[in-house]
Chain A
Amino acid sequence: MLVTRRLVTAGLAAGIASPALIRSAGAQGATVKIGMVTPMTGAAAESGSFAQTGAKIALEQVNKAGGVLGKPLELVMEDDQTTNPGAVLAFSKLASQPDIVAFLGSIRSTQNHAMAPDMLKIGKPVGFGGTDPNLTKLGNPWLFRFRPNDAYSGKVIAQYGGKELGKKKWAIVHSTDAFGTAGAKALAESLPENGATLALDQGYANQSQDFTPVVLAVRQSGADILGTYFTFETDLGIFARQLRQLGVTIPWVGSPSIVNVSALKLAGPALYNTYGVADYAEDSSEAAKAFGKAYREVRKVAPDNQSSWTYDAVVVLAMAMNKAGTTEPGKVREALLAIRGHKGAEGEYNFDKNGDGLHGYNIVKNEKGDIKFDKRIDFTPNLG
């Protein structure tokens, strides 16, 4: 053993003493800072890295175009460890830096719930990607959603399956986490208005090693269309493969994870000919295409919603600050609420009074591993 007891003790002592040193450096800088809470470790570390790339691309573009209020924009990132307490600490760490003027929250709804009290307290605009509809109904004026919420995804899946594909008998398979249950609920509620019925509503716990009982339940239910809300790509991959192995071939419309990069890589042919609702689809608009091009230059893989929402959020936050002519939180908030028809990578931003910026989804189809844009379904928001 090379490390002596004393060394360990000394190291620990030094460790406890020094975090204060790091924080004080670089206050009053010559940059405008946006804080970003993002998973770097834990189960969502991979999607976190996509989100970071998206934000960095936006950062570069904003700075190339002159920055914010004449100063360069800067991103300060903190790891949320893919856990709720981790997110709370990460956010409060960012919030304690007074020169950070706006924040990017999490794509995971529960983390946003966990951070919400601190977000309210700090009183600065927070852009986030969690899709739980409740998040923007909490009366917290500082939350701005840069993805369409699950009420829309459920509606879009139901409408597409019913009207476009003409299927009436649904099997819904969903994760029992917050995202999955909320999504499945919205989908189930939208079925009647599209003349469809629910044959099976099947939840599963995240990180299952086997989906045979679930697949068999789908097969037994006699459903003619499948709607899914999967959280983790590994789960989706195992499910997709077993679904095909056990001979289930009914049309399948899934939540956004069905078209994300890792799922495509993991599941391969098992996902061919499936449909997905996607808040980001590369061919859906010129803005989406432009983002896709920029993203492919940085990373070798195709862009997905993990990166597009952070890209949009950084661009829109910078735009709002420039329009407001200040970083004063109240003014920036008003500028955000006033945004109309901004064409972002995810779609057209029109913030309603709750702070929801997007009001529709793209439907895409997996054609032999290529994601082809099929249709965009938008709903008219109440912009009051």
Chain B
Amino acid sequence: MDLVLQLLFTGIGIGSVYALVALGFVLIFRATNVVNFAQGEFSMVAAFFMVMFSVKLGLPYWLAFIVSLIGMGVLGAVFNLAVYYPLRHRTYLPVIISTIGASILLANATLAIHGPEPEVLSGWFDTPGFLVGPVYLDSQYLLIIAVTALLVVLQYWFFEHTLLGKKLQATSQDKEMAALLGIPVALMIMVTFVYSAVIGGLAGILVAPVLFVSIHMGATIALKAFAATIIGGFGDVTGAIIGGLALGIIETFGAAYVSVPYKDGFAFLVLVAFLVFRPQGIFGERVAEKA
């Protein structure tokens, strides 16, 4: 039982990380119908921002946190202007390739500027964690879980109860209609990219104390988060969260009870099962796109 509880906590913790990154995928997908293959690099870049501001420049942790997220917002805007916006009228393929190019660029530009050393980033709390009965709770994972839960609520409030949220929603559902209603579609897409970059950055900063800060931290998380997005359904924010959590738990238990080396395989097997039997995801309402 101790074992199960411990695995469950870890699964939920790592799953929350996937969920946070998946959230960024979903937001951009809903607004633009495009999968952003550079989403993982947003997390990586934000973690390096944090190292730069907090460790190298010595800003207080909270200030470095805010400055890093602002930096991510700017990056999201530049990303939109350089990588997505010029291609907005084309099919999804050139956009995918463009985001792949951006991912190579971001990873290697970070390498060129910072150098290859991985970095340590301290957590938000001084206590690394504590035992509750036989189960060890890592304080940073607790924070990640809390932030994920909070974001679900905020997200709901934002999209359902604010004007900007409703405009964003309208844009993601039908761009032409939204334009006819006088909603500035280009601005809404810009807001989406900025917001997604900030969310992706938030995920990176939160997870950095656990996974360390390295050039390739983004790529592995992003692939899993992508899988989580499919499991949860591309059209749905709650789906991304549930998909992320489910993936984290499946992976952890699969590793514990079946095979550790094939751990990454479970994610993709579950994914294939979903794609074949329920392509719309857990919560998706849309029928599978037909090419």
Contact = CB atoms under 8 A, between A and B. Distances in A.
Given A209-B211, A210-B14, A213-B260, A245 B118 contact: no
> How many B residues touch the partner, as a band?
35 or more
Interface string B57-97: 00000000000000000000000000000100000000000
Interface of A: 1, 41, 43, 45-46, 48-49, 176, 202-205, 207-210, 212-214, 216-217, 220, 233-234, 237-238, 245-247, 262, 265-266, 268
A265 B214 CA distance: 13
B116 A245 contact: no
B147 interface: no
B263 A208 contact: yes
Contacts of A210: 10, 14, 251-252
Nearest to B2: A216
19 contacts: A205-B261, A205-B264, A207-B220, A209-B210, A210-B251, A210-B252, A212-B252, A213-B7, A214-B255, A216-B3, A216-B7, A233-B118, A234-B211, A238-B211, A245-B136, A262-B117, A265-B120, A266-B120, A268-B120
Most buried by B among A212, A214, A237, A247: A212
Contact of A216 (B6, B115, B220): B6
Most buried by A among B3, B128, B214, B256: B214
User: Chain A contact residues: over half helix, strand or loop, or mixed?
Assistant: helix
Nearest to B107: A41
Most buried by B among A203, A213, A266: A213
Interface string B9-39: 0100010010000000000000000000000
B111 A202 contact: no
A43 B7 CA distance: 29
Given A209-B220, A234-B214, A262-B117, A204 B260 contact: yes
Given A245-B138, A246-B6, A214 B118 contact: no
B159 interface: no
B212 A234 contact: yes
B263 A43 contact: no
A245 B129 CA distance: 8
Nearest to A261: B117
A210 B256 CA distance: 11
Nearest to B108: A41
B221 interface: yes
B102 interface: no
Given A209-B14, A246-B6, A46 B117 contact: yes
Given A212-B256, A234-B217, 19 more contacts: A46-B118, A48-B116, A203-B260, A204-B260, A205-B260, A205-B263, A208-B263, A209-B17, A210-B10, A210-B14, A210-B252, A213-B252, A213-B255, A213-B260, A213-B263, A234-B211, A234-B214, A247-B136, A266-B120
Q: Which 10 A-B pairs have the closest CB atoms?
A: A45-B116, A46-B116, A213-B256, A213-B255, A212-B10, A176-B261, A203-B261, A210-B14, A234-B212, A245-B136
Most buried by B among A202, A220, A246: A246
A200 to B, nearest CB: 11
A48 B215 CA distance: 14
